[in-house]
Structures are given as C-alpha cells and as structure tokens.
Amino acid sequence: MSILEVEHICKTFEDTEVLKDISFSLEKGQVVSIIGSSGSGKTTLLRCLNFLERPDKGVIRVNGEVLFDAADVFTGQEAEIRKKRLHFGLVFQSFNLFPQYTALGNVMLAKELQAKERPDYKEKKKEIHEEIQAQAEALLDQMGLSDRKGNYPHQLSGGQCQRVAIARALALQPDILCFDEPTSALDPELTGEVLRVIKSLADQKTTMIIVTHEMAFARDVADQVIFMDDGYILEQGDPMQVFENPREERTRQFLMRFTQREKGGVSKRR
C-alpha cells in the first residue's frame, strides 16, 4: 500500500486555477522530486499537503487513511487538521526559523508543547524534557551542527539555518517530509551542505517530496520525478526516463533551458 495517495486535487485562488487535477502516489521510503517552471503550482501543492491551503476538490490519503476529502466537511475541521498535519513535515524556502530561540530551542519547541498535553507530563516533566533535548541534540549532530546548538538563527549562515529547519521538521517524525526549494534562498556555495544532508536522509529511506530547481540533485536523489506545468502533472516517471527521454515536448524545453543555464554557469535561482 502506498504511504501517500493524492487524488484529483484542484485549487483555485479567486479566479486563477493553480492546481488542475493533481494525482500521484508515493511509496514508503521513496523520494519524489517535483520540477517545473515558476508559477506551475509546486508550492501550492506542498501547501495543500500540509493543510496550509484547503484544496477545492480531491482526496489525500496517508497509509490508507483519508486525511482530507473535499467532499467531506468533517475532514477540514481545524482541530482535526492539527493532528493530521503531523503526518507531514515542511521545510520552507526561507527557513522560517523562530528568531528568539536557539538552534536547539527551535528543534525542541513543538515537541515540548506536545508533551505538555500528555497526562503524565506533571510527574515526569524532567525525564520528558531530557528525552526531547537528547533527541534534538542527536538530530542537530546528524545535520552536522554539533557546535551550533546554542546559536540563534541570526548568528547562523543560510545553509546552517536550513539544516536547523530540517532538524526541526524531523523532530516530529513525520511520515512524509516535504521540501519547497530548500536551497533557492542560499548562496551557491552553501547549497552543497544542504543537499548532502537531504541526500543522506534519502539514503536512510526517509519518505520525501522535494521541489527543487537543482536538476542534477533531483535526478540523483529521486526514485520518481514529477514535472509540473501550469497546474497539471505533465509527466512522471523514473529519473532516467524523465531526464534522458522526456515524452513531452514541454518537459524537453524546460530541461533544455536548465541544462543551458547550468552550462552557462548560472544554476542558481532565487
């Protein structure tokens, strides 16, 4: 059974149709890269999965459980949504770290707030706190940030901030981790460290959806590539096929633009 099934998602803002019938599925431990030009709806799709936008039509299923069904109003209720969100994690293009917390604090905050809802929180306060801290420290170690735990976001480089953001998302152990152009806000020399971390997560069989403009990376890390164009999934398949032998002319054109740009030495996008 697929870990994620997305069926016929549509989303319209005022009068712009941004997503027009999106369907795909994802297996546990797999990585899907989503590519496509600016404005094709990639961010909106990730925001729908994370319940930051409400699709007008469609169904989202995780592990067979219907998380969202536009036809069923109950699945759209605020209190329900908060729990369902936890199936997904989202790493933003602009990090969105909490500036008043240290790297460690950022990773621990949500988990600590969750722990307060536990019935045994009062008795075991100390143990719970230590457990959460140990987990957060382990995650920051894994991100290569052992010596940055006590730093505030403004004291970190963009690449370090993004790695903290990844640790923060991982702390809640989401089933599926989404990335929205995780390196687009970074200076070119800092993209490598973030991509390496994501690659290592893929090697550990973390289920991920990665929107990116780093074509070489998309191809290298993914089990499946989705090419989005104007609100549709125009093409999907394994990376070799999509990158080497695209079926659609639009995909070919898009990839051409990118290879040219990369050859021209400007692979960075803002």
Ligand X SMILES: Nc1ncnc2c1ncn2[C@@H]1O[C@H](COP(=O)(O)OP(=O)(O)O)[C@@H](O)[C@H]1O
**Interface residue with other proteins, options 10, 66, 109, 216 (CB under 8 A):** 109
Q: Which does 75 bind (CB under 5 to 8 A by kind): ligand X, Mg ion, other proteins, none?
A: none
CB of 211 to ligand X, least distance (A): 7
Give the one residue of 30, 33, 40, 212 binding ligand X; rule: CB under 6 A. 40
Residue 109's binding partner among other proteins, Mg ion, ligand X, none (Cβ under 5 to 8 angstroms by kind) is other proteins
Provide the CA 259 distance to its chain's centre, in angstroms. 24
Residue 94 binds to ligand X (criterion: CB under 6 A): no
Question: Residue of minimal CB distance from Mg ion?
Answer: 43
Longest dimension (CA), the chain: 63
Radius of gyration in angstroms for the set of CA atoms belonging to the chain, rounded to a whole number: 19
- Decide if residue 270 touches other proteins (CB under 8 A): no
Give the Cα separation of 50 and 126 in Å (integer). Answer: 32
Helix (H) or strand (E) holding 124: helix 121-142
Distance (Å, whole) CA 192 – CA 92: 17
Would strands 57-62 and 232-237 be described as parallel, antiparallel, or unpaired?
unpaired
Name the nearest CA neighbour of 143 among 188, 200, 100.
Answer: 200
Q: Of 2-10, 63-71, 83-91, 141-149, which segment contacts other proteins by CB under 8 A?
A: 83-91
Please measure the distance between the N-terminal and C-terminal CA atoms of the chain and give it in whole angstroms: 37
Total residues found in the chain within this entry: 270
**Which residue among 122, 126, 154, 263 contacts other proteins (CB under 8 A)?**
154
123: its two tokens:
């008795």
Q: Can you tell me which of 30, 40, 43, 206 binds Mg ion, judged by CB under 5 A?
A: 43
- Applying CB under 6 A, does 116 fall inside the site for ligand X? no
Q: Is residue 256 at the binding interface for other proteins, with CB under 8 A as the rule?
A: no
The residue range among 7-15, 40-48, 119-127, 250-258 that interacts with Mg ion, by the rule CB under 5 A, is 40-48
Q: Which of 35, 46, 41 is nearest to 254 (CA)?
A: 35
Q: Which of 5, 22, 32, 44 binds ligand X (CB under 6 A)?
A: 44
Q: Are 157 and 190 in contact (CB under 8 A)?
A: yes
Instruction: Compare residues 83 and 126 and give the one whose CB is closer to other proteins.
Output: 83
**Where do contacts with ligand X occur on this chain (CB under 6 A)?**
13, 16, 18, 36, 38-44
**Where do contacts with Mg ion occur on this chain (CB under 5 A)?**
43
